């Protein structure tokens, strides 16, 4: 469920089924991709948020244990190759 604050109240924007015991989420930098931790399913679900709608991409990333903490990280750009 995606919520927003309007006039000091939480308002639902979008909703999609995730999995058993969704533990936490991480947003991509641009806010269009969302990764949801599913504790008992032992996977990460990938969702897309566009035009006010939350859509399950169907992509699942299996993990060895129940995911309990997640965040996104910046990816360093590779340094340009020097020619000799």
3-state secondary structure 40-77: CCCEEEEEEEECCEEEEEEEEEECCCCCCCCCCCCCCC
pTM across the whole model: 0.74
Q: What's the full length of the chain, in residues?
A: 84
Model confidence band, residue 32 (pLDDT cutoffs 50, 70, 90): very high
User: What's the CA angle centered on 19, arms 14 and 22, to 5 degrees?
Assistant: 80
Mean pLDDT on 41-63: 92
Q: With CA atoms as reference, report the closest residue to 44 among 32, 54, 57.
A: 57
pLDDT digits 0-9 by tens, 1-31:
888 999 999 999 998 888 778 888 899 888 8
Mean pLDDT of the chain: 86
Q: Report pLDDT for 9.
A: 95
């Amino acid at each position: 469920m995606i919520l927003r604050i309007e006039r000091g109240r939480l308002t639902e924007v979008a909703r999609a089924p995730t999995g058993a015991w969704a533990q936490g989420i991480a947003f991509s930098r641009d806010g269009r991709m969302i990764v949801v931790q599913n504790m008992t399913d032992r996977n990460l679900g990938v969702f897309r948020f566009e035009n006010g709608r939350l859509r399950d991409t169907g992509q699942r990333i299996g993990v060895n244990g129940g995911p309990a903490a997640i965040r996104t990280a910046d990816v360093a750009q590779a340094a340009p190759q020097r020619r000799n």
